[in-house]
Chain A
Amino acid sequence: MDRFAFLLKRPIQLIPVLLGISLITFVLIQLTPGDPVRIMLGPKASEDAIAFVRARYGLDQPILVQYFYFLLNAIRGDFGQSIIYRSPVGPVILDRMAPTLFLILYGLALSVAFTLGLAIAAARSRGRWVDQFVRLVCVSSVGIPSYFMGLMLILGLCLKLKLFPVSGYAPTLIDNLYHLFLPALTIAIGVTPILTRNLRATFLQQMDADYATAGRSKGLPERYIFGRHVFWNSLLPTVNLMGVVVSFLIGGTVVIENVFNIPGLGQALIRAVLTRDYFVVQAVTLVLACGIVITNFIVDVVTVVLDPRVKL
């Protein structure tokens, strides 16, 4: 089979995965105690008003009937109404995808830059002070919760030094490179140590490999061996690890979005779960699940590109 045949197979495999996720989410959130209509209408509403609104959203039907209608509508591209906002879910979610996507990509870009810099510096100076320093930084920053890190950055860089804004998502790309720098940095501080340790270890392993020794014996300069061979041969495990990290990040943006007040999917999900806004929970979960599946897919593609021996 052609190396890239999985490109076609993947979307088909995706269908049962998403169906399973949607069914589980639907049943779980509906079984959680709490009624979105009561939240929407508030403590002062009469029983009549509550029954009236419940019927309007079809929430008086059995769960499986509701799920059936949800599926039927979803196939037509209609993900239902947000009960709390009284408006279609689609636009609510779409508005919030951009900030989250931007934040994750920005955070990853910083992480990759930091990781490459740190891992190369450490590996090339194995055992010397630069290496020791990088390892110390990695060990000491790996356990800091992003909530705490975010608050510390706000305190130091926003309130004391007044270098960055505390909050927000701006309308333009350039604005956002500035506005979302701290949240992206928070992500990078969380992710970089994990990736750096992995990449440094692989570099070292590859630098000791036979082909590198062979290169040295031929008198090739160390710089050439590293840049031409070791570097490229070492990327694969880190790319795979990055796939896992991104999957975690997709869930982890919830915290970062709250600390930096970014109107993204994570914030929407928290709110929807707390208010039992069933259809929003459903839609956001599906979007996030798709995000994870797509990430894995990209990792697969990159793996195939990097290593011609790999077949999927």
Chain B
Amino acid sequence: MDRRSFLKATAYAASLASLPGIAFSARAADSKILRMGYGSDVLTLDPIKTVYGSDIIIQGMMFARLLQANADRSEVGPGLAEKWDISEDGKTYTFYLRDAKFSDGSPITAEDVAFSYTRMRFQKDSAYAAPFQPLKEAKAKDAKTVVFTLDRRFTPFLTLTEIWNTGIVPKAAVEKMGDDAYAKAPVTSGPFKFVEWKPGDRVVLARNEHYYKEGLPHLDGLEFRYVADDNTRVSMLQAGEIDVCIGYPVARQPELKAAGFRADADISSVTYDMLINHSKAPFDNLKFRQAISHGIDRQAIADAVTLGSGRPATSIFSPELNFFDKSLPLIQRDVEKAKGLLADSGVADPSFELLVSAGIADDEKTAVLVQAQLAEIGITVTVSKIDSTSVWTRLIDGDYQAELNWWYNETRDPDNALRWCAWGAGDNKSYYTRYNNEEVNKLIDEAAGETDDAKRGALYAQIQKICVDEVAQVAMFHPNWLNGYSPKVKDLILNIGLQFSEIDQTDLV
């Protein structure tokens, strides 16, 4: 071959290869593989080590729990446990398991359940053992009966048996493989089994033929892809390269809706707020905190940041949680009142630094609004944009004055939420605000031990009122999850607790 014909051949090959319109890695027409894109990478497939959104979402697809929440998470019903008893004193929970198998075909026994709970509660590097502190022991009574003993009466326990880190894992496989290897290729108990995990790229799951629900799931498999850039993720949804776009910039909503995608926000239990450091001036001053609370316009901020889909906050936790106190009024912006409170506070230099995680558009937008609104009542806000890991470190170390943040609750029971954001006795010091009110701590414990709903409701109302009056955090609004779905995806919503709890019934048409 001479040079000229070689060049010709090369050019010809190159133009053939880049021929547009050939979808090389398209989904095979007859297979039902659901492809999801998410902006956070999967870090572990072990339920007890899971803390991040990506991992939490994927746990729900791989592991079954004792109980299962319905799609709107309004109630929990049977899961791996067909029924359960609670002892008179509220300290012993007995669960009766149905016949079910792991993805390797081995039976799910009470021994596996006891193992999973013991591991989650007592293993040193278990990431989220905190809500399960009252659990003293988990024991198999016989092959199908498991008994939990608590050290005190603890009503929220039942709903906790459906959150992600209580996914049932096989004792034999975990012990044989060891923790690290198991976390990379787990044997599962839920609707899908593990196929492949490429860190920083994707997790591939396939239908688990041994899943305990006859005939489910409808899907053949699932691809969970890490797509870091928000706009790229939206483009991929538009181009049909993914079917579900988890989390998108709110500004893209009208465009997605106009193009026929289901982009109606899924309801969340998120509270978006300004965390304030109660151990630092000027936030150690009650009147100053109240001045801020009256100086911001929650409705305006919610409208601007969520394009109207979010609700302004009246309490410190979400209206989606049980015992949310509907009678609490929305604190309206009142410049004169705020100025009066500020004068009463006696703070000589009414200014503070507001930390914002760089690159998060909502936070940056909110910071500007807060800054402008507080300037009108005479408070100077300096916005500092730094990377999220540094923000995080400063929160934990208490080296901050105020910071924009959000958190959500896994269940509808408010105990978790309050222990997270207002219980000063906890490891996280009321979500690092250092808010510590002995009375609130006591009321939270009391409410958790109460079985009568009416009495619990009264206690939670009291707690919410104190937290709002004392401005434990500056709760601003409750946004929804912003997910985009292709019209092909049927019966899939993200519930308030960040789980696609009906993924086993989801279909592609």
Interfacial residues, chain A to chain B (CB-CB below 8 A): 32-35, 38-49, 52-53, 82, 84-87, 92, 95-96, 151, 154-155, 158-159, 161-168, 170, 172, 174-175, 177-179, 181, 258-261, 263, 267-268, 270-271, 274-276
From A82, A154, A177, A263, contact of B17 by CB (8 A): A177
| Cross-chain contact A151 with B184 (CB below 8 angstroms) | no
Contact flags B219-262 to A (C-beta < 8 A → 1, else 0): 00000011111011101101101000000000000000000000
Q: Does B180 contact A (CB under 8 A)?
A: yes
Contact flags B258-298 to A (C-beta < 8 A → 1, else 0): 00000000000000000000000000000000000000000
Given contacts A181-B18, A261-B227, A276-B389, 13 further A-B contacts (CB under 8 A): A32-B390, A41-B49, A44-B127, A46-B427, A47-B427, A53-B125, A84-B43, A86-B180, A92-B200, A165-B23, A174-B24, A178-B18, A263-B226
A95: chain B residues within 8 A (beta carbon): 198-199
A-B contact pairs, 17 of them (CB 8 A): A33-B389, A33-B390, A34-B390, A38-B393, A41-B125, A43-B392, A48-B124, A95-B198, A172-B24, A177-B14, A177-B18, A178-B17, A258-B229, A258-B232, A261-B227, A270-B228, A274-B388
Q: Does B409 contact A (CB under 8 A)?
A: no
B387: chain A residues within 8 A (beta carbon): 34, 274
Please provide the chain B residues from 33 to 72 with a CB less than 8 Å away from any CB of chain A in the complex.
41, 43-44, 49, 51-52
| Cross-chain contact B229 with A261 (CB below 8 angstroms) | yes
Q: Give the nearest-CB partner of A255 in chain B.
A: B229
| Cross-chain contact A41 with B127 (CB below 8 angstroms) | yes
| Cross-chain contact B396 with A38 (CB below 8 angstroms) | yes
Q: Give the nearest-CB partner of B22 in chain A.
A: A178
| A214 shortest CB reach to chain B, Å | 28
| Cross-chain contact A49 with B126 (CB below 8 angstroms) | yes
Q: What is the total number of residues of chain B having a CB less than 8 Å from a CB of chain A?
A: 53
Q: Give the nearest-CB partner of A180 in chain B.
A: B18
Q: Does B307 contact A (CB under 8 A)?
A: no
A166: chain B residues within 8 A (beta carbon): 232, 235-236, 239, 241
Q: Give the nearest-CB partner of B428 in chain A.
A: A43
A46: chain B residues within 8 A (beta carbon): 129-130, 427
Q: Does B333 contact A (CB under 8 A)?
A: no
A179: chain B residues within 8 A (beta carbon): 24-25
B390: chain A residues within 8 A (beta carbon): 32-34
Q: Does B21 contact A (CB under 8 A)?
A: yes
| Cross-chain contact A167 with B24 (CB below 8 angstroms) | no
Q: Which 5 A-B pairs have the closest CB atoms?
A: A42-B51, A34-B389, A163-B20, A177-B17, A263-B201
Please provide the chain B residues from 110 to 127 with a CB less than 8 Å away from any CB of chain A in the complex.
124-127
| Cross-chain contact B24 with A85 (CB below 8 angstroms) | no
| Cross-chain contact A268 with B200 (CB below 8 angstroms) | yes
B128: chain A residues within 8 A (beta carbon): 42, 44-45
Name the residue among B24, B198, B427 with the largest chain A CB count within 10 angstroms.
Answer: B24
Contact flags B475-491 to A (C-beta < 8 A → 1, else 0): 00000000000000000
| Cross-chain contact B22 with A158 (CB below 8 angstroms) | no
Q: With the chains together, A220 CA to B128 CA distance in Å?
A: 82
Please judge, given known A-B contacts A34-B392, A45-B127, A49-B124, whether A159 and B427 are in contact too, CB under 8 Å. no
Contact flags B390-405 to A (C-beta < 8 A → 1, else 0): 1011101000000000
| A93 shortest CB reach to chain B, Å | 10
Contact flags B364-402 to A (C-beta < 8 A → 1, else 0): 000000000000000000000001111011101000000
Name the residue among B126, B198, B228 with the largest chain A CB count within 10 angstroms.
Answer: B228
| Cross-chain contact B17 with A52 (CB below 8 angstroms) | no
Q: Does B150 contact A (CB under 8 A)?
A: no
